Structure 1
Amino acid sequence: MGNDEAEAQFHVLAVDDSFVDRKLIERLLKNSSYQVTTVDSGSKALELLGLKDEQKDPPSTSSPDQQEIEVNLIITDYCMPGMTGYDLLKKIKGSSVLKDIPVVIMSSENVPSRINRCLEGGAEEFFLKPVKLSDMNKLKPHLLKGKCKDHHQQQQKQKQKQKQQKQQKQQQQLQQERNSNVNSSSSNNSSSNTNK
């Protein structure tokens, strides 16, 4: 049970224009104890992640929604109308906010040049459809790697914050010492002036 609870914390975004394939991948992921969100297009995936097309939407409308949900992995179909899985991959890897999210591409077509292009473009895996339960087991190392990166980044931010707080405290102490030195020297001057 403890193992299932650990896996349930992983959230996978599944992107496929085919209703049947979306339901299949959703069932496989849920059977593997992952939290799943499904969408039917690359543009909906980007919208869900808070990364809208800035040419269509001004940045002010897209920034408040920035990464509304936390996703640990994206699994997307390659062949979709409008935005292909490869296009989605490039958008995600080109985003400073989303680039560390692992992306897995799936396709019913075994085209080596397409597979290589996706892997070279930053995809972690390329699955051939129909996706099987054994494929779901291949996701775990990528999910863990993503979690480790998140944890490491949080630790780095925490260390940076502590360092800044320490520097601020030291500056405050220095300022207090300067103020007390100025006060003591001016009181010494005034007492020496009264003695004259």
Structure 2
Amino acid sequence: MGMAAVESQFHVLAVDDSVIDRKLIEMLLKTSACQVTTVDSGSKALEFLGLQENDKNQTCVSLDNHQEAEINLIITDYCMPGMTGYDLLKKIKESASLRNIPVVIMSSENVPSRISRCLEEGAEEFFLKPVRLSDVNKLKPHMMKTKCKSPQQQQKQEAEIIVTQDNQESIDTTYVVPSQQNQESDNIVQQQQQKSQDNSNNNKRKAIEENLSSDRTRQRLSSLTAI
């Protein structure tokens, strides 16, 4: 498989303390052409995501030496020792760098209050075990969210487009106005040249008429002198 094909895959982090359930969800996700990373606890999931639980104040801190992998979706079991799927969900949604990653909860128990609590906390879906291929097919629209730009990036891009349009309009306006001025200037120059030409022609006519009149006068004078 080529490098471009791998980069175009969705990367899912699956969290479950049961090895059988991890193998099942991994198989289903790979059937849907997803890249899968599996871990067996919530704390390992946070570590993989670049966060580490701090027992003193129950918050997560970033690991400076961790190279963060791009995760498009997290699917986690609800009932796990140490940290439940609900606890993991809350920590992810409280993290500024991870809160936009979609989270799906799995559980073998159908407890309506548990389901509603997870959905209210920000879970995208709540699947009952065993997870089926039809359930996995519902994940793609949620994974697509991480492939799209964030609202801030989208607003920035739209602002850049508006600024570009404004600049283009100002350029067009700047281009049109001088051309009109140049055209008007050319018209004025042509009018002045036409006036100069007309004046020159008028002067020539006057000179010719004066010469004719002077010649006529000379002829009359000479004829008078001859008489």
TM-score, length basis structure 1: 0.70
Label 1:62 to 1:94 Cα distance change in 2 as closer, same or farther (>3 A): closer
1:144 aligned partner = 144
1:41 matched to 2:21:
no
Runs of 4+ in 1 over 3 A off after TM superposition: 5-8, 54-57, 152-161
More divergent stretch after superposition (22-31 vs 6-15):
6-15
Aligned residues: 156
Letter in 1 for 2:38: T
Gapped regions of structure 2 (runs ≥ 5)? 161-227
Offset of residue 158 of structure 1: 7.3
Q: Is the 8 A contact 1:8 1:34 kept in 2?
A: no
Using the alignment, how far apart are the partners of 1:82 and 1:42 within structure 2? 8
What do the CA deviations read for 1:92-123 (whole angstroms, capped 9, x no partner)?
00000000000000000000000000000100
Using the alignment, how far apart are the partners of 1:63 and 1:80 within structure 2? 24
More divergent stretch after superposition (32-41 vs 141-150):
141-150
Q: Is the 8 A contact 1:8 1:33 kept in 2?
A: no
Offset of residue 17 of structure 1: 0.1
Using the alignment, how far apart are the partners of 2:16 and 2:78 within structure 1? 8
1:83 aligned partner = 83
Task: Note the 1:7-46 alignment, pairs <5 A.
Answer: 8-46=8-46
2:208 aligned partner = none
Across the aligned residues of Structure 1 and Structure 2, the Cα RMSD in angstroms comes to 3.0
2:133 aligned partner = 133
Q: Is the 8 A contact 1:8 1:35 kept in 2?
A: no
Gapped regions of structure 1 (runs ≥ 5)? 162-196
2:112 aligned partner = 112
Letter in 2 for 1:85: G
Offset of residue 159 of structure 1: 8.3
Task: Note the 1:57-76 alignment, pairs <5 A.
Answer: 62-65=62-65, 68-76=68-76
Using the alignment, how far apart are the partners of 1:43 and 1:160 within structure 2? 40
TM-score, length basis structure 2: 0.61
More divergent stretch after superposition (140-149 vs 84-93):
140-149
Letter in 1 for 2:113: S
Secondary structure at 2:126 match in 1: strand
Label 1:130 to 1:50 Cα distance change in 2 as closer, same or farther (>3 A): same
Which structure has the bigger radius of gyration? 2
1:168 aligned partner = none
Q: Indicate the structure whose relative CO is greater, using CA pairs within 8 Å and at least 6 residues apart.
A: 1
Q: Is the 8 A contact 1:93 1:100 kept in 2?
A: yes
Aligned-residue sequence identity (percent) comes to 74
Letter in 2 for 1:110: N
What do the CA deviations read for 1:131-155 (whole angstroms, capped 9, x no partner)?
00001110011011222145x5555
Secondary structure at 1:52 match in 2: strand
1:121 aligned partner = 121
Using the alignment, how far apart are the partners of 1:62 and 1:160 within structure 2? 32
